[in-house]
Every structure is written in structure tokens, then in C-alpha cells.
Chains A and B, each alone.
Chain A
Amino acid sequence: MISMNKVSKHYGSFQVLADCTTQVHKGEVIVVCGPSGSGKSTLIKCVNGLEPFQSGEIIVNGVSVGDPKTNLSKLRSTVGMVFQNFELFPHMRIIDNLAIAQVKVLGRNPEQAREKGFKLLDRVGLRVQAEKYPGQLSGGQQQRVAIARALSMDPICMLFDEPTSALDPEMINEVLDVMTELAQEGMTMMCVTHEMGFARRVANRVIFMDQGRIVEDDSKEAFFGNPRSERAQQFLAKILHH
């Protein structure tokens, strides 16, 4: 579904990504972790072309992301993305946040789009908030709406960029529950997250990055049981400490 081959990116002389190669198969859940500045977010943003890269190749569902001839808007409409800071559109009601891209991008009729929006809000338990504005919801609720908004486009896979990092601890679980449910339904997911509990429960594979390189790319059992690199061992020792 997603295939990366030797993807590299640099800002001037600073190497952000170096020769990153990995595959995500249909139905797989991949957790990407690593210290800050290791390039995790940049890597995931390269998948739908929000970040350009200088060399290498990314193929999503048979389409090359880096090819200048690719219709990026069309590609992006098939890949759902959830951001650290939710990024709902503050001037629209919740239901309109869910409907607008369906109407303007996919050309669905507004009634159907709202109908689908309501169904998805039901699914994330926020139907009653449909007529409110994003600023009137808690962070956890906003992030669940953001997931529903991404799902409204019927994506073939979902990208999560630290979806729980900006949340109060109390609200992290409600978001992770939605993500877990999604994974169990067979959605292909690539998640940048520090939630190691989520990784242990849900992930098929864990990618560990450091200084722009993919240092480990292994099944979760292997990664948590016996990380090969010293850097990953240190990382795990630190974050699993408490």
C-alpha cells in the first residue's frame, strides 16, 4: 500500500531524512517512534506530499508521490491524516467540518455528505456536538472529530502525526480507543506516537528513527522484547521507565 525506497530530504546541509526504506502493507498498523527531531513527522508528511523530498521514491497505492505529474490533491483525498493540533476549521460547525471536503473534493451532494458526517460522529460518540464549533469542544473531542473528518473521505489508509501529544492526559484514552477500534476494523495505519501502550496492543510493526534514519523496523514483539540498536534500547529504557 505504501512503499518507501531510499527517501532522503535535507534543508541546506541539514539532513532530515536519510535513505529511509520501508513498506506498509494493507491492513497493517505501523507505529513510528523516536526522539524529537529524529524525522518521524517529516517522514509521515512525505507520504502524502505535504513535505517534499529530494531523492528516493514513495509509492502510495501505485502512485508515485514525488512525481511532478502526480495529481497530489487527488492522492491526498484518498489518504486520511490526523494532526497533533487537530486543525479543525474553527469557523465551521462540526458537521460542516465533516461535510465540506466530501462536497468540494469528492463532489458528493451536501445532504449525503451531512448524513455520512452524522454517522461518523455517532461512531466517535459526538453526534450531540454536531452543531457546535470546534472551539467549544475539548481537545479530546476535537481530535475525535478530526479522525471522523479524515474518515469521511473513505481513505485507503490513515496517517497520524502525534495525535495525542497536545492532549491532557485524561483525554488521551478516548482518542486511542477510537484509533484502536479503527485498527481492529482493518484500516491501514501509520502512526507517529509516543504511546508505547498503544504500540504494544495495536501495532504490527514498530519503526524506530534517530537522526533522520530508520534504525529499527521490526515486529513489535522483537522491538519491545529485544531491540537491536543501542539507541533504541536507551530510548525504550527512558520512556518505559515510568
Chain B
Amino acid sequence: MNLTLRIWRQPGPEDKGRMVTYQVDDVSPDMSFLEMLDVLNERLTLSGEEPVAFDHDCREGICGMCGLMINGDAHGPQRGTTACQLHMRQFSDGETIDIEPWRARAFPVIKDLVVNRGAFDKIIAAGGYITAPTGSAPDAHATPVAKADADAAFESAACIGCGACVAACPNGSGMLFTAAKLTQLSLLPQGQPERYTRVIGMVDAHDEAGFGGCTNAGECTVVCPKGIPLNTIGRLNRDYLTATAKGGGTPGS
């Protein structure tokens, strides 16, 4: 396959970026999208240009490190698939492909296609956990958990923190990410003691980090490679309201 790539190039956080056009020939349909970028980068390196910086690590769809806007879609055209698991057979010969970084106020660009997603970590640090210092745990079977609750908790826990939801949201909201963690922990008996302080802490951190508000556009759940459902945000809102009524304080020890 021969492809035309238009890629966002930005040397550093303070620099102005622009789309640059590259021709890539001899692309195999069996290549992953990132392997296609590898081919381009090898060529750029040998011709004395700087290769395109992009984040990636496991390349099997679980670490959440890769994230590209491909023709305007977060992670590209294939549903339930991260950019690293997207293969070139999803494209056709002669196609022009636009590749851009996540664009959101809370995710500033570091270089080319690499953005800073540290804001997600701050949301977790503000309450996205159950306080259980090592050694303090009772026997694992001390508290049974209904299978339906455990399964639903798992569905939400499957979030890989890639940030596609934020990139797709017209408001740059991180609500799906926040709600996924809140849903997981609030479905489990172990998560109950901190349930209402947790939601206040995480939502406050979310807002402080510069994410926008949720207006139920629903774009997030469409692009989510792990299919985190939109109703997690409903659950977040319900808990948030309850917490406000209770006058919930800050989370933590």
C-alpha cells in the first residue's frame, strides 16, 4: 500500500505546531499502525530528519500509553481498538491519513504526538483508591461480593487510562475516566467507607486539572477502546449529589 500521511509536528511544548505531509510506500496490510510509523521514522532518521515522537509501550492494547487522533477519530476507525492494535488492512491503498495528538486543555502537547496526561494521575491521587495499607487486610473471603457486582466492577476497572475519552469530548471532559474508577470502587463493599469523600475529591481534582464539564455528548464511550459505558457517569452524578447533601469532606487517610 502507498499512503500519504499528514502528521502534526511540534518541536516542543512552547513551539507552534503544523501538519507536515509524508509519503510512505510499501506499507504491508499486516503492519500495525504504529509499525507503519516505525517505518516512516526509520526513513526519516536515515535521511537526517527528526523522527516523529509518539507514545507507545506494550503494543497489545492494555498499557494505555499510545493515543493518536487518526482522521479525527481517537485511536482511529476500528471500534474497541487502541492505535497499537489497529492494523493497516483497515485502510486502503492511496489513502491520505491525518495523525494528530490528543487535543485537550488538560493534556498539553510535549512534542509532536506526545502529550502530558499527568492530570489523570492527579485524579486518582485525590481519592481513586481504597485505603488499605499493606498488612491490614482481613481474609479475602471475609466479605463475599455478589457476582453481578464483581463483574460490573470489573467492567469499569478495565479502563486503561489512555485519554481517548477526553480527546473525543467536545468539552475535553475527563468524566468517563473519573466515573469508571468511581463506579468500580463504589460497587464493592470494600469501597463503601470512602464512597462519598472519594467522589468529591476526584471530581474536584478533575475540575482543577482543567478538564471540561460533561454535557452527555457521549462521544467518550464511542471511542473508548475498552467500552466503558456512559451510565458510569450517571452513577458518578448520583453519588456526587448524595455526597454534597451529606457535606462530604476531603478523602484520604
**Do they bind each other?**
no
